[in-house]
Structure 1
């Protein structure tokens, strides 16, 4: 597979895939023939042993086409997982291109996740030893996709809360009615160092009438410290008026 990045390839569809960002980036590099397979490494002067990590075949071409489609172990893998005879496919890039264009989003997602997990598994064996295992690849692919999907499903709720908090914050200080004062207090607990209290009193024009801070060396139970700080702050405020 010699092809590199090309404007004819639907790269936009790659970045729109509903998979983790690291998988999108992996697919971009794979389709552009930028992964460090043995042939690409050899072009850079890096020579490795001449046997396949997955099937142990000697003297085989070390291209991405062979790794993902033509390796004996990979052929058994695809047949077991997708009932696919990968030996009938001549080009990894062409296969991915066809999947991107045919509109079957579910199949495309499964293939992309499995190819990514296959590459990760191959590297694990290359650097740490072991035997190729179909279950390891499929579990890795599905678990990573599941965790990513669940995290994204929770994101709208988190963003909704954050937006509400932002809206509340942007409302800012609300002035009191004419002739009245508004008192803002706050308290913080600093572990074994104690507590910090603060208050600001403003009139209905927003002018600061009084402001002060106070430090207490109390070392109360952290579980009730928030309430303790606020009670102390209220007492201090009343005595300050």
Structure 2
């Protein structure tokens, strides 16, 4: 069971793909294959990887050259989700970045409230978090389809905080992620941001997004969050 947040507890909002799990390459590979299955044209794995972190309909539309609301984009999304469930989720436990399991436990033990805020659909996020053995460590999971405006808009963060039982992000709260959308989310909330360099964005790209801290490993993420929490 997740550790219940203490009164006045600070919330740490984590991205999922490229932050907790090393899934971006697999997502890109299978999304590109899904687009090829539907359209007959392979968009390229690198083109797909650059889109990881965006909501499912946007990725499907961009890779199929269609509108997000079109039947083509819907078919690409459905084909990808089938591949995701059958080929990616079963490997979830092997895709954990080093230090994630122990690091999350240390953060929870310190009294921090933990949540996942992702551009994935809620059901997809729950599925892979459970398969990876991570779900019980989070007090809330918010997907792109849980809100009208997904990240970088603050709607998803506000919902996560509400589900954690916290009225607002305190000054010691933080967002941790591997793309500009995560850093923008933190900026919109007025809280600390940690940009990781081992996910979708390169070290230069995450630096350009101007996070408050740049972390090369998950161990460094935990170190800086605990240091701030103890001050």
Between structure 1 and structure 2, the one with the greater Rg is: 1
What band does the TM-score fall into relative to the shorter chain?
Answer: under 0.3
Larger RCO (CA under 8 A, 6+ residues apart): 2
TM-score of the aligned structures, taking structure 2 as reference length: 0.21
Q: Which protein is richer in helix relative to its size? A: 1
